[in-house]
Chains A and B, each alone.
Chain A
């Protein structure tokens, strides 16, 4: 049929590398970066800063002459956190908009729904979602920016162990992020000899979790509590935690690593710890730190432009975009296979989230110590040495 022949023809041309034989004609075309993010809906606090970051840096790149002498165009659709919509929009990006590369997927569900379509279309994809399944096992065309939730769990549990806390209570949201976080925490704890003595959940939209926290508090021998979730739920958990007067050491996940969490939770957040990237402590990070320049630069650019504070999630989009730019430069073209190979070969890229060492075996490229343990002191994030 007609469409198939057209696809075949395009594929054949690309395969023979004929496209690169006519650079003059191509220089006119913009480079098209596709993106699908949860800009509205329950995961809006992920998608919103991610989109803002992409728009900011695409604009900046074009101001500075674009990429490979071509303009960069961002084609974006809002999946509102719905996996089925994400799949439709990815199909649109690939079949209709014919984008050269995709950055997106705020949530794991949206990312995973898009993966089969993307793998088949053979276009490089940089996911901004957290769960381990995205990059383990490695999928040829799929890369992932955030550390896995398993690494976050391991980082927290390591800190607990160093403080001699080996019997813990876990409370997690029933959404994708919380449920996946709960699973990996249970597994990692077992491997590290930490006992999870209480295991409670709540709906991310809940307005009161004192019943669950009471159960944890009344469990014999519990020494610390970890709340694994993102969004406003953890702020409610934190408030209830203080309201019940629980004195045990309290941990959150990287899912609330933003200043807006502190604003919501108020003084109830005092003393809690979480794993986060250097971005949150950009103001106090020593100049000698390799990430110093990049985190302060991103923070300033974002906050000047949008008048709201940076979050870890926007940082993923920053890193994803910079890696994409670097890979396209390195490949010298937008040929998908070359860009993919270039992405896979990136070593030692110092980003907002951490230092990326990508390889054929590792499409995420961060080690777990890119997470730093922060503690809330006087209403601010501070580095725990």
Chain B
């Protein structure tokens, strides 16, 4: 009985940790520019596929990982520089479509140059799984979870302590005022996109031992990440992690206790219910609309 419950919980935590990492990337870009970046999932793909391809090209695993992270960061900065910055005065929906275009573009490139096959990466720890209370937990899930926590803390410190972080926050709160205060807002936004891409690629890299990777994994992971970010309240790092875990756990419990057919639908029902009572998500700020 309990072992079952533990197993569902571990399954949910594994899923949730993955979603949480994706959601963090959304949060960062949303905070900086109020753009929902639908290409976020593609950064995960670049992290995972990039590593696989570089390993295939003969690089040792750690070097391949660094290479993939750099590649994704560059892609993130370019995305901002070439696609988002030139359209900065455009409508929010227009920006969404631009990021959708970017995601199709990046996916297409990956498919063309890296192929369509699925690939795996080795797990980080020698031990595959731990047995707790009659249930098994993958060591990789622990890696994902702890890295997610480290990243949340690091982001919090970054935004509250570092000059760069504060500049990003200032830019997100009021672009014009930030510019008047001498902040180069476009550079700052570029940095935010770069960091977000780095974050996404790191996530993509560490989840690959569990999820596998291919040119099109970004679609599903990106979608789930957006959902997690929205439950948590867009713009809140804590919210992103809580939202991710909530989404993962509700999927696992639904599959375990209710029906695996409706596993993907039940979380959305929960989310709609949450939004009904908390229209700004769990941790979202109640931003007043400007008249």
Contact = CB atoms under 8 A, between A and B. Distances in A.
Q: Do chains A and B touch in the complex (CB under 8 A)?
A: yes
Interface of A: 40-42, 44-45, 48, 174, 200-203, 205, 207-212, 214-215, 218, 231-232, 235-236, 243-245, 260, 263-264, 266, 308
B255 interface: yes
Interface residues of B, number: 36
A210 B11 contact: yes
B217 to A, nearest CB: 8
A202 B15 contact: no
B8 A264 contact: no
A40 B116 contact: yes
A207 B256 contact: no
Contacts of A231: 118
Nearest to A40: B111
B42 interface: no
A40 B220 CA distance: 16
B118 A235 contact: yes
B207 interface: yes
Nearest to B256: A211
Contact of B264 (A41, A203, A218, A235): A203
A51 B6 CA distance: 46
A267 B35 CA distance: 43
A260 B11 CA distance: 26
B207 A202 contact: no
Interface string B118-157: 1110000000110000011010000000000000000000
Contacts of A245: 136
B210 interface: yes
A239 B122 CA distance: 13
Given A200-B260, A208-B11, 20 more contacts: A200-B255, A202-B260, A203-B264, A207-B210, A207-B211, A210-B7, A210-B14, A210-B252, A211-B12, A211-B255, A214-B4, A214-B7, A215-B256, A235-B118, A235-B120, A236-B211, A236-B212, A243-B136, A243-B138, A244-B7
- B14, B129, B256 interface centre (most CB from chain A within 10 Å): B256
Contact of A48 (B10, B116, B129, B207): B116
A205 B267 CA distance: 16
A209 B8 CA distance: 10
A345 B56 CA distance: 48
A176 B264 CA distance: 17
Contacts of A263: 120
A218 B2 CA distance: 12
Nearest to A202: B260
B14 A260 contact: no
Contacts of B261: 174, 201
Q: Which 4 A-B pairs have CB atoms at the shortest separation, nearest pair first?
A: A211-B256, A207-B211, A211-B255, A205-B220
Contact of B11 (A41, A211, A266): A211
Contacts of A40: 111, 116
Interface in B246-273: 252-253, 255-256, 260-261, 263-264
Contacts of A203: 263-264
Nearest to B8: A211
A96 B198 CA distance: 47
B248 to A, nearest CB: 8
Nearest to B119: A264
Contacts of B8: 211, 214
Contacts of B129: 243
Nearest to B223: A205
Contact of A207 (B4, B15, B117, B264): B15
A203 B7 CA distance: 19
A207 to B, nearest CB: 4
Contacts of B10: 210
B214 interface: yes
B21 interface: no
Contacts of A48: 116
B116 A208 contact: no
A261 to B, nearest CB: 9
Contacts of B256: 211-212, 214-215
9 contacts: A44-B216, A202-B260, A207-B211, A210-B14, A211-B253, A211-B256, A214-B7, A214-B135, A236-B211
Contacts of B7: 210-211, 214, 244
B18 interface: yes
B216 A264 contact: no
Contacts of B111: 40
A143 B160 CA distance: 67
A305 to B, nearest CB: 15
Contacts of A209: 255
B260 A42 contact: no
A364 B130 CA distance: 49
B263 A202 contact: yes
Contacts of B117: 45, 260, 308
A352 B162 CA distance: 64
A208 B212 contact: no
